[in-house]
Structure 1
Amino acid sequence: MAEKLPFTVNIDKDLKEKAEALLSQFGLTLDAAVNSFLAKMVSKNSLPLDIGALTSVREDEAKLSDSDPENSTTLTRSATSILSSLRKKD
């Protein structure tokens, strides 16, 4: 078994909680999703998702504000889009 090392990433608390909630709907943990993303990136020697999906997420994030009640819906759609892109690449 490969040696496991701790990996620290600074992210927004609310974003992390929402991502974990969404991933749990797919039976995944944040650790599993990050490991899967990195493994796919290394095996393909490129980003394992459509750059358009990243652009869409960045645009969505730019539109978000803490007082916007649609934030949860927008983030869920963005995360679902990214997960769909990852699954299509398999």
Structure 2
Amino acid sequence: MRDGRIGFKPSLISADLHQAIEKRLHSPKDTFTSYIDLIQWITDNYMSEGINYQTLNSYVKRHFGAKIKVARKSHVNKNQDASDTFKKTSL
């Protein structure tokens, strides 16, 4: 009696794509700002149909330990000299 389970399911991400993602994630100049940006890059360069957000999110976290985060922007009217003085005097 069989239960209908298939077993091994091949990965959507090939070895070439894995290497390309790794290279791009470790590059200081060509970083991704979001998983949507990563999906768009994969769709433009490697896959015509794209990839599911959750699939890519879990794959990148599992294989690379990556968390795509962007630092907050500094305020436009921020006085840099006052900020430097504050950092030097607050020990």
TM-score for the superposition, normalised by structure 1: 0.28
Specify which structure has the bigger relative contact order, considering alpha-carbon pairs within 8 angstroms and separated by 6 or more residues.
1
Of structures 1 and 2, the larger Rg is shown by 2
Which structure features the higher share of helix residues? 1
